[in-house]
Amino acid sequence: MNAIAVQDPARDAPLIIGRDAELQLMRRLVGRAEAGEGGALLVRGSAGVGKSALLRTVHAEAAGRGLTVLSASGVETERWFPYAALHLLLRPLDRNVERLPPGHRRAIRQAFGAEQTQPEVHQVALATLELLADGAHRRPILLLIDDLQWVDTPSRDVLTFVARRTDDHAILLVGAARSDHVDPFRWDDQADLDLGPLDEAAAAALLDAAAPELPPQARALLLTQAKGNPLALVELPKSVQGTPEETEHLPLTRRLEVAFAIRTDSMSAACRMLLLILAAEPTAPLSRLLAAASQLTGSAVTLDTLQESTDAGLVALIDGHPEFRHPLMRSAIYRRATITDRLAAHRCLASVLADDPERQLIHLAEAAIGPDEELAARLERFADAAQAQGKIAAGVPALRLAARLVRDPHRQTRILIRAAELSSQLSDRADTRALLAQADLNTLGPVERGRLMLVSDNAAFEPDEPQRRIHDMVLVASAAMDVGDRHVAEDLLWRAAARCFFQDGDAATRAETAAELQRWNPDPDGPHSLAVRLYTEPYRYGADVLPRLHRADLDRKDGYLLHFLGSGAMVVGDFTHASRFLARTAAIWREQGRLGLLVRALAGSWPRFYLGRLEQARTESEEGRLLAREAGESIAWLGLTATAALVAVTRGEIASATRMIEDLRASSLFLGMPFAAAIAQQVNGLLALFDGRAGEAYDVFARIFDPDDPHHHSVSCWLVVPDLADAAVAAGTVDQARGLLADLADRAARLPSEMMRMAEAYRDAVLAPDHDAERLYRRSLTALPEGCLLIRARLHLHHGRWLRQQRRYLDARAPLRTARDEFDRLGARSWAEAARSQLRAVGENTGRRYVNIGERLSSQEMQIALLASQGLSNREIGERLFISHRTVSSHLYRIYPRLGVTNRGQLAAVLTGNDQVGD
Q: Are 583 and 761 in contact (CB under 8 A)?
A: no
Separation of alpha carbons 603 and 591, rounded Å: 17
Separation of alpha carbons 231 and 819, rounded Å: 69
Separation of alpha carbons 433 and 819, rounded Å: 53
Confidence at residue 249, expressed as pLDDT on a 0 to 100 scale: 44
Q: Is the four-CA dihedral 558, 559, 561, 566 of positive or negative sign? A: positive
Classify strands 321-324 and 315-318 as parallel, antiparallel or unpaired: antiparallel
What totals of helices (H) and strands (E) does the chain contain, helices first? 49, 7
Confidence at residue 545, expressed as pLDDT on a 0 to 100 scale: 97
Report phi then psi at 913, rounded to 5. 90, -15
Confidence at residue 882, expressed as pLDDT on a 0 to 100 scale: 87
Residues of the chain with pLDDT under 50: 1-11, 182, 184, 242-250, 915-919
Confidence at residue 439, expressed as pLDDT on a 0 to 100 scale: 83
Report phi then psi at 283, rounded to 5. -110, 0
Q: Give the CA diameter of the chain.
A: 107
Closest CA to 681 of 649, 652, 655, 653: 649
Report phi then psi at 176, rounded to 5. -130, 135
H/E run at residue 626:
helix 614-631
SS3 376: helix
Confidence at residue 11, expressed as pLDDT on a 0 to 100 scale: 46
Separation of alpha carbons 359 and 626, rounded Å: 37
Separation of alpha carbons 243 and 224, rounded Å: 15
Q: Helices 538-550 and 527-536 sit at what angle, rounded to 10 degrees? A: 150
Topology of domain 570-633+687-854 in CATH is 1.25.40
Confidence at residue 185, expressed as pLDDT on a 0 to 100 scale: 56
Closest CA to 209 of 217, 199, 219: 219
For the domain spanning 857-917, the CATH number is 1.10.10.10
The CATH 1.25.40 portion of the chain extends over 368-460, 570-633+687-854
Confidence at residue 8, expressed as pLDDT on a 0 to 100 scale: 47
What are the start-end ranges of the H helices in 558-604?
Answer: 559-571, 575-592, 595-601
Q: Are 539 and 743 in contact (CB under 8 A)?
A: no
Residues 6 or more apart whose Cβ sits within 8 Å of residue 600 = 563, 567, 633, 636
Closest CA to 624 of 653, 595, 593, 650: 595
Q: Are 62 and 30 in contact (CB under 8 A)?
A: yes
Report phi then psi at 139, rounded to 5. -155, 135
Separation of alpha carbons 122 and 399, rounded Å: 24
SS3 172: strand
Separation of alpha carbons 259 and 248, rounded Å: 11
Separation of alpha carbons 789 and 872, rounded Å: 29
- Class level of CATH domain 20-194: alpha beta
What are the start-end ranges of the H helices in 298-372?
Answer: 303-311, 327-336, 339-352, 357-367
Q: Is the four-CA dihedral 286, 287, 290, 296 of positive or negative sign? A: negative
Q: Are 682 and 610 in contact (CB under 8 A)?
A: no
Separation of alpha carbons 472 and 496, rounded Å: 9
Question: Using one digit for the tens of pLDDT, what is the confidence trace for 731-752?
Answer: 999 999 999 999 999 999 999 9
Confidence at residue 850, expressed as pLDDT on a 0 to 100 scale: 65
Q: Are 279 and 296 in contact (CB under 8 A)?
A: no
The CATH 1.10.10.10 portion of the chain extends over 857-917
Separation of alpha carbons 784 and 218, rounded Å: 85
Residues 6 or more apart whose Cβ sits within 8 Å of residue 131 = 90, 93, 96, 97, 100, 104, 108
- Class level of CATH domain 368-460: mainly alpha
| Radius of gyration of the chain from its Cα atoms, rounded to whole angstroms | 32
